[in-house]
Amino acid sequence: PMGSERTEMRKRQMSTTQETPSAAQAQLSTGNRGSNACCFCWCCCCSCSCLTVRNQEEERARRTSHELQAEGIPNCEESPAPTLEEVNAWAQSFDKLMLTPAGRNAFREFLRTEFSEENMLFWMACEELKQESNKSVIEEKARLIYEDYISILSPKEVSLDSRVREVINRNMLEPSQHTFDDAQLQIYTLMHRDSYPRFMNSAIYKDLLQSLSEKSIEA
């Protein structure tokens, strides 16, 4: 009888030992789920509510971006071909470059190669907003500009400091033609200091200047 009891106790110990890793593994799995849980819920699945909302917001931002570009901002502005004098003037100052549609088109082409075209698009959208006088149109365009270039969810978000963002958020309570003036100036300054010097040394500008120079000589 004693032997039977010892055998039975050994079987129970072995059974407990086998169950312990499984329990630990289950506990570890539960712990991992907790660490991966999102900020709003305890579930770990990728279809939880907060991630779903985030994905919907990102999709809406992308859709808004395409809609704004399709409706309000063409791939390039309509303009006559620049003259040699105009292209030479672009090298004198950034202001002269930005004053002409041909200059903006050439600069925008360069920004596209640096994946920073959104800076020009934002500046152009702000210029377009300033031309509006209808209150409902202003509010709609301001909303689109905000979602397309200011929102952190947008793939075309421009780089602005916190002070300017606070100003925009206050202005958006009652949007006007000048809601983004501070932000537009900051982006203009960024393009002037950062991108403009590289544009003047780029193949896009040098090739255009050379082509016009050769045509001038031939004429």
Looking at the predicted structure, is the pLDDT value of residue 196 above 90? yes
Would 30 be classed as within a structural domain? Answer: no
Total number of domains in the chain: 1
The domain of 153 spans 84-216
Helices 101-113 and 117-130: crossing angle, nearest 10°? 150
Is 9 within a domain?
A: no
Domain containing residue 140: CATH number:
1.10.167.10
What pLDDT does residue 141 have?
98
Question: How would residue 98 be classed by pLDDT, with cut points 50, 70 and 90?
Answer: very high
In a domain, 138, yes or no: yes
**What pLDDT digit, counting tens, does each position of 5-59 carry?**
545 555 555 554 444 444 444 444 444 444 444 443 333 444 444 444 445 545 5
- 159-169 pLDDT, tens per residue? 999 999 999 99
Q: What is the pLDDT of residue 216?
A: 86
* Structural domain contains residue 36: no
With a pLDDT cut of 70, the percent of the chain lying above it is 65
- For the stretch 104-109, contacts whose Cβ atoms lie closer than 8 Å and that sit 24 or more positions apart, written own/partner, are 104/77, 105/76, 105/77, 105/79, 106/82, 106/199, 106/204, 106/205, 106/208, 107/191, 107/195, 107/196, 107/199, 108/76, 109/76, 109/204
The encoded tokens of residue 111 equal 């920004």
Residue 82 has pLDDT above 70, yes or no: yes
- Distance (Å) of CA 141 to CA 23, 57, 94, 159: 58, 18, 27, 20
Mean model confidence pLDDT for the chain: 79
Question: Residue 102: inside a domain, yes or no?
Answer: yes
Residue 71 lies in a domain: no
For residue 153, tell me if it sits in a domain.
Answer: yes
Q: Tell whether the model's pLDDT for residue 148 goes beyond 80.
A: yes
In a domain, 197, yes or no: yes
